[in-house]
Amino acid sequence: MPSTRRPAEKKRRTVPLQALVWSSVGALTVGSLLGTGTTGAGRGDLQDQLDSTAEQLVESQDVLAEQQEQLASAVSDLAEATSSSAGLQSRIDALTTEASTSAATIASRDTRIAELESAAAAATAAAVEAAQVVAVPAPAPAAPAAAAPAPAAASAYYENCTAVRAAGAAPIRTGDPGYSRKLDRDGDGIACE
């Protein structure tokens, strides 16, 4: 009888083993379905994050492009200002050179005027001396002798205001004998005031 018992024991073992296998397969299937659902939701969240990041990237690229345009505009403005500054500086240099040349020309003309005035005064003095030499051999009354110094005063030349004051002729007005622009420092027509 021992052989009859064994097949029954084997049957008992197979039933619980089948139930165990089927319950394991069911649990695995349920777990897979739940895991897939969770993974699908996780993919949706990741896709949303990816879309959000892509939008931020596009916005950042737009801002970058705008800032690059502003930078290019600023560089262009700087180059234009630098060019304008260089042009103005060259114009200033040209005007400074022209002013220096004009000042040198005026100084040389003033020197030439002084030389001509000196030569004119010397020629006038020589003419007066020649007239006096001609007048000395002839007897002359006292009145004409007093008139002789008057022409000398009419063509007087003074080197500077000290000489004018020493001669007692200060101040000298425009048109007076001995008046010179170089003696009139403020240009008001009155020298050695």
Q: What is the pLDDT of residues 30-63, one digit of tens each?
A: 887 777 655 556 678 899 999 999 999 999 999 9
Q: Do residues 158 and 191 touch, judged by C-beta distance below 8 A?
A: no
Half-sphere exposure of 80 (CA within 13 A, CB side): 6
Encode pLDDT of 94-104 as tens digits.
Answer: 999 999 999 99
Cβ within 8 Å of residue 117, ≥6 positions away = 157, 180
Q: Do residues 172 and 188 touch, judged by C-beta distance below 8 A?
A: no
Q: Sign (positive/negative) of CA torsion 89, 94, 99, 100?
A: positive
Encode pLDDT of 127-168 as tens digits.
Answer: 888 877 655 444 444 444 444 444 444 578 888 999 999 999
Q: Name which of 129, 136, 137 is nearest 155 in CA terms.
A: 129
Q: Name which of 181, 64, 191 is nearest 117 in CA terms.
A: 181
131: DSSP letter: H
Q: Do residues 162 and 183 touch, judged by C-beta distance below 8 A?
A: no
Cβ within 8 Å of residue 160, ≥6 positions away = 183
